[in-house]
Each structure stands twice: as C-alpha cells, then as structure tokens.
Amino acid sequence: MNDLEYEELTDNTLLAVEEAIEQLDLDLDYESNGGLLSVTFPDQSKIIINKQPPLQQLWVATKFNGHHFEWKNGQWIDNRTGSEFWQLLSDAASKQAGTAVVLTAQQPGTE
C-alpha cells in the first residue's frame, strides 16, 4: 500500500469509529485531531486511536493495553494478538463503559 492509500484508509477508519460512537445510546465523548481520535468514557478513562504513517499502522491505547494494527487481507489486525480492530475496540469499550458495547463500521447502503 502506498502512503496515499494508507492515509485514505486510516482517515476512513477513524471516521467510521466516530460514526459508530454516534450510533450508540451511551454518554461517550470523542475528539478528533490530526490523525488522533480520543474517546472518553463516563469514568473519564479513554481509548485513543492514532495513525502511525511511517509504519503504516493504526495504534489503539486502552485503559488496559496498547495495540498495533496492520492492514492484512482487508482488515486491521493486531500484530501481537491477531485480534481484529472492530472486535478489540468493542471489547475494550465494553470493559471501560461497564456495559456491552458493539462498535462496527457502517457498510455502504445500510444507513
């Protein structure tokens, strides 16, 4: 993947996370700034997602762990655990929110 493709892919992923948060009936705040998305939970814990252009990775820091995702076979995969991005994000958000949270990317035409 070239740098332009990486930028478009990560921008779209961060936007999809924002849209997924908007769909939730939870009191979550988020702020996006220059390739970094910070999600704040009611207990003031955070999940931070940021782009790492030199490595062409997407990094996720949760209250419990840090994860480095690489684009493989059409999805972001944690290079340490093999977890898929949306599943890990949902699991981490559920732990930090204290309730079940399912975050998914909206598929075109499903809105």
Q: What pLDDT, in 10s, does the model give residues 11-43? A: 999 999 999 999 888 889 999 998 999 999 999
Residue 91: inside a domain, yes or no?
A: yes
Q: What is the DSSP letter of 53?
A: G
Phi, psi of 55 (to 5 degrees): -100, -5
* Domain presence at residue 110: no
Over residues 53-88, the pLDDT tens digits come to 999 999 999 999 999 999 999 999 999 999 999 999
The verdict on residue 106 lying in a domain is no
Whether 39 is covered by a domain: the verdict is yes
- Answer yes or no: is 16 within a domain: yes
Strands 75-78 and 46-52: unpaired
- Structural domains counted in the chain: 1
pTM, rounded to two decimals = 0.89
Distance CA 13, CA 60 (A): 12
87: containing domain? 3-97
* Residue 106 CB neighbour total at 10 angstroms: 13
Q: What is the three-class DSSP state of 89?
A: helix
